Amino acid sequence: MAYRHLFGPVPSRRLGVSLGVDLVPQKTCAYNCVYCECGRTTSLTCERREYVPTGRVIAELDDFLAKGPDLDYVTFAGSGEPTLHAGIGEIIACIKDRHPRYRVAVLTGSALLADPDVRAALMRADLVVPSLDAVSEEVFSRINRPTPGITAEQVLEGLLDFASEYPGEIRLEVFIVPGINDTKEEIRLLKDAVAAINPDRVQVNTLDRPGTDIRVRPASIGALERIAAVLGGEVIGAACTDRALPPVSGDLAESILATIRRRPCTAADLAALLGIRPAEVAKHLRVLESGGLIEPVREERGVFYRPV
């Protein structure tokens, strides 16, 4: 079966070896974050509907998981906000009922957690990783650039309601954008919010790949460690690299392009993600670049490739 809505498994910085489940077209989200590594949001919305066929996603998961792959998580993430998909609860339930050995994670920007239906849909996930980048309305608007009608107050209230109802693990992510949400006042507000939410873990993150706004730069490790200490959290570390991933099969160029469409990657990233030799990656990158499908961007961690 050709997988249209699954990607990976990939070595995740947060979740070990993770099979991605992508429930929305690129780039469909309730935010247009300045730092987003998926690129600029082209469909800014808070409308929940069946963006891709629920039955097709379930069929792909059944086919893939029936082979018994070695995974740490099946993770709902990818091209936008996964909770926008009206069938996410049904898909999670199918995984837990049919493939109970696998743990389910959901990465969310938290914009829709004020909706009781969204909170109910996530109840059977093992882990939810919600984001909270700002508490003040001004900073929230500058960083997350939400669809009209979504406010920082609403997001925080949704997180508080979710934390009070959800039986699984919550790892709250705070993404630091230097010069915007790293002020003493915003960190104080975030500290108070963290205390109220009381997540299992707080993870402080910053830019690792090219973001939407080229002016956004990564925070220093020292700054991240200081903020993590204030918030009672930890700095997100490097990706899991101690386990071999199965080599990708089929059209390598298409697999590379599909991966880059979801996140900008270096050649080394692609070799690790797809389980193929660096020389093979380099060959296909040259073909994709000469065809005008991708372009290189130099960042501190190296040369990244992103879609044109």
Contact 84, 45 (CB under 8 A): yes
pLDDT per residue as tens digits for the range 13-58? 788 888 999 999 988 999 999 988 777 888 999 999 999 999 999 9
For the entire predicted model, the pTM comes to 0.80
In CATH, the number for domain 247-308 is 1.10.10.10
Whether residue 176 contacts residue 263, with contact meaning beta carbons closer than 8 Å, is answered with no
* Residue 242, φ and ψ in degrees, nearest 5: -95, 5
* 6-238 CATH, one of 3.40.50.300, 3.60.10.10, 3.20.20.70, 3.90.1570.10: 3.20.20.70
Structure confidence by residue, pLDDT tens digits, 132-166: 999 999 999 999 999 999 999 999 999 999 999 99
Q: Please name the amino acid found at residue 163.
A: A
The stretch 101-106 carries a mean pLDDT of 97
pLDDT tens per residue, range 201-241: 999 999 766 566 667 788 889 999 999 999 999 998 544 34
**Domain residue limits, the chain:** 6-238, 247-308
Handedness of CA 173, 178, 184, 189 (dihedral sign): negative
Average pLDDT of the segment spanning 276-299: 82
The total of other beta-carbon atoms located within 10 Å of residue 224's CB is 21
> Are the beta carbons of 43 and 99 closer than 8 angstroms?
no
CA angle at 212 for the pair 208 and 215, rounded to the nearest 5°: 80
In Å, how far are 26, 73, 214, 267, 286 from 41, measured between CA atoms?
A: 8, 26, 15, 25, 27
pLDDT of residue 247 exceeding 60, the answer is: no
CA distances from 132 to 143, 157, 158, 199, 294 (A): 11, 11, 11, 12, 31
